[in-house]
A and B are shown apart, each in its own frame.
Chain A
Amino acid sequence: MSLFTDPRWGEALSHLPDYLGNHVRVSLAALALGLAVSLPLAILTRNRPAPRGILLALASIVQTVPGLALLALFYPLLLLAASVTLAWFGVSFSAFGFLPAMLALALYSMLPVLRNGITGLNGIDPALIEAAKGVGMTARQSLVMVELPLALPVMMAGIRTAAVWVIGTATLSTPIGQTSLGNYIFAGLQTQNWVFVLFGCVASALLALAVDQLLGLIESGLRRRSRLRSGLGAVGMAALVAATLVPTMGRSSQGYVVGAKTFAEQYVLSALMKDRLQAAGLSATARSGLGSSVIFEALKAGDIDLYVDYSGTLWANQLHRTDIKPRAELVAELKTALAKDNITLLGELGFENAYALVMPRKRAEALGIRTIADLTAHAATLSIAGDYEFFSRPEWAALQKAYGLQFRAQRQMQPDFMYAAVASGEVDVIAGYTSDGLIAKYDLVTLDDPKHAIPPYDAILLLAPKRAGDERLQAALQPLLGKIDIATMREANLRASGNDANSSPDAVARWLWEKIKQ
């Protein structure tokens, strides 16, 4: 199939009004806030070297924080602030999506605006400021009628830089729940959908380029004192903003919001749930690519209505439990605990996505290894690989303790590469995920855990507090419960990891539904 006739372009295009509109909205708000804070600060500190130095140093420090980290930082900060305002004033606000993204991006925009504002104001010929005084201007009149207009071209250059930075960095606001052009990139990277990745990159680059050129036109108009140029630039900017915002305006009710974390299985499951809700006549949208720590809080706060999590994850992260119980018992206890927060644990989907030690089938058979206990005797001659967090997780400590495992070497790897590495013999054992499609593809086996050192990770469907008594919602989701076994989910995940038209989350979700609906 040719790259140009790939139906995924059409699918990508269908998201454009939503993604682009939200991208422009958050960028615009961030830039406006950044300007509203930075310009007065630049004016106030222009003649005060000490505070000016401190301010520029702070802004520079903010700039050195990676964009993704800055955005991620604002989520817990706002969450804390929201709990404080709730406790003190009885009002809370959503720490999810727009607000943290806007604040972080506004902070990010401050350095160029501050720096150019101060440079512009300090670069004015002192004789002109003297002249402003001499013709009888007050300090304020001198600022408004002489200094600001003369500094404007330099300030505009700073605003232009800030705008390009904000538009670029806004693509990273997807994991904290702000829809943006980054949704294409995050989804594409996770599901190996390069059409989406390309589309997202090109769209955000084009947007940044267009804004840069239009602001550049305004800037050169200000420099050359050409009203025509500045006017054209301003009209162009207004047209661009209107064209991107208007298509999504007035869409007040989004209906049910289905959340998804940042990996392929989650994209598929959220697409499946969205389809089920729509089939039941309920309007639903997917909010994908949410960070693992963001998504549960978002559900609790009602920013999303439903998503799939894994029992062991909540057991450790939300209940802070380290003991291990059998699958059904753990889910039952979790259900009771979550009910205290009014969160509904609707039920299990049927499969587990747990950590498991994985080996090539032939190798395991040759060595006579069926369980982790069998592995203990061979471990000293074998190497193991895991993802970036596995070796610091409690599961690994529990495994080592329960079975006395001591491997010859341990390595960290990108999850996608681990399976190929173990299949080719580059490493002997990997800590994989039980629902991963690559297990079947490479003919690997998961080793049993007779001592139950690894907690169960049942996929469970969670509903937000405000949907607790929602019978239509629950009825629509009922057909999914207990229907997805591990083999089916593995095959779905394998399909989703392909790079063709049938591997988009929507396409895989349709395949999955056909498979389980009887």
Chain B
Amino acid sequence: MSSKLAISYQTATKSFGSLRAVDDVSLDIAEGEFLAVVGGSGSGKTTLLRLANRLIEADGGTITVEGEDVRNVDPVALRRRIGYVFQSGGLFPHLSVGDNIGITPKLLGEPATTIATRVDELLELVQLDRASHRDRLPETLSGGQRQRVGVARALAAKPRIVLMDEPFGALDPLTRDTLGDDYRTLHRRLGLTTVMITHDMTEAILLADRIAVMRGGKVLAQGTPAELSRSCDAYVLELLRTPRRQVERLNALLPQSGAA
């Protein structure tokens, strides 16, 4: 890879008691790249993600963000410049949609008028009608709308890097599909670097440039889907077979659209 690194893990380690949640992981994410980290529950993927913005502190190894060792950066400042999309939104229930989206710019001390303009732009960006959504409370939104607000909030302070923790996991398949495609478009348009966690290999293949497979705290394989398919690891190959098997069964069960 010729371009600069957005995030780099070198022999990163994190234990919780006797459990090695992240075990000697080295992984580079280039600027502008969309990386999916795929693994089952307890594989350490969420811990790996949170090491990058210091929501969790590493025990060993080095993690750099845009060339800086994260240990030398104030964690609060670090989190404000990295967007983070939480599982099922993580929206503050007592704040309106607009206030949720504008929270990080507000923390950065931007003037209210600037924030208001920015909130409107972001609502448009995530395809929510601003007049009817801005003043609503999160509890009045559907799951998909909430996650759109979550994405808008992550983008509010114009970050170059966005971390996403199973962002579309809890949504119905149709919403999930649309939201994934819409985010992929945003990622390109805004020139973001995105690291997304998912347990769904199909989603990872459809959205990401590159995929890292995690199990038991270790990265078993990383690369483009094509590169992954050349892996000799049985678990990686098993994960890759699943989408294909699904497609074959679907093709067998469903009449091809447009077929006579």
Report which A residues bind B (CB closer than 8 A): 127-128, 130-138, 141, 145-146, 149-150, 225
Contact = CB atoms under 8 A, between A and B. Distances in A.
20 contacts: A128-B93, A130-B86, A131-B86, A131-B90, A134-B84, A134-B86, A134-B90, A135-B84, A135-B103, A136-B76, A136-B79, A136-B107, A136-B157, A137-B107, A138-B76, A141-B107, A145-B103, A150-B92, A150-B93, A225-B137
A134 B55 contact: yes
Contact of A133 (B55, B87, B93, B153): B55
A225 B103 CA distance: 19
A130 B94 CA distance: 16
Interface in B80-101: 80, 84, 86-88, 90-94
B222 interface: no
B104 interface: yes
Contacts of B53: 134
A135 B76 contact: no
A146 B92 contact: yes
A127 B94 contact: no
A136 B109 CA distance: 12
Given A131-B86, A136-B107, 10 more contacts: A127-B87, A127-B88, A128-B92, A133-B55, A134-B53, A135-B79, A135-B80, A135-B153, A136-B79, A150-B92
Nearest to B163: A134
A464 to B, nearest CB: 56
A227 to B, nearest CB: 12
Interface residues of B, number: 22
A130 B107 contact: no
Dominant SS at the A interface? helix
Greatest chain A CB density within 10 A among B86, B108, B157 is at B86
Interface string B70-84: 000000110110001
Contacts of B90: 127-128, 130-131, 134
Interface string B38-79: 000000000000000101000000000000000000001101
B104 A136 contact: yes
Interface in B197-239: none
Q: Which 9 A-B pairs have the closest CB atoms?
A: A136-B80, A131-B90, A134-B84, A136-B79, A149-B94, A135-B104, A135-B103, A136-B107, A131-B86
A125 B179 CA distance: 26
Contact of A135 (B87, B94, B107): B107
Nearest to B137: A225
Greatest chain A CB density within 10 A among B79, B86, B94, B104 is at B94
Contacts of B93: 128, 150
B31 to A, nearest CB: 21
Contacts of A131: 86, 90-92
B218 to A, nearest CB: 25
A425 B104 CA distance: 86
Contacts of A134: 53, 55, 79, 84, 86, 90
Nearest to A150: B94
Contacts of A137: 76, 107
Greatest chain B CB density within 10 A among A130, A131, A136 is at A136
Interface string B175-213: 000000000000000000000000000000000000000
Nearest to B81: A136
A131 to B, nearest CB: 3
Nearest to A222: B94
A150 B138 CA distance: 14
Contacts of A149: 94
A97 B55 CA distance: 54
Contacts of B80: 135-136
A146 B79 CA distance: 17
A152 B90 CA distance: 19
A106 B90 CA distance: 38
A126 to B, nearest CB: 11
Nearest to A127: B90
Nearest to A149: B94
A226 to B, nearest CB: 11
A394 to B, nearest CB: 66
A86 to B, nearest CB: 51
Contacts of A136: 76-77, 79-80, 104, 107-108, 157
Contacts of A128: 90, 92-93
Interface string B128-143: 0000000001000000
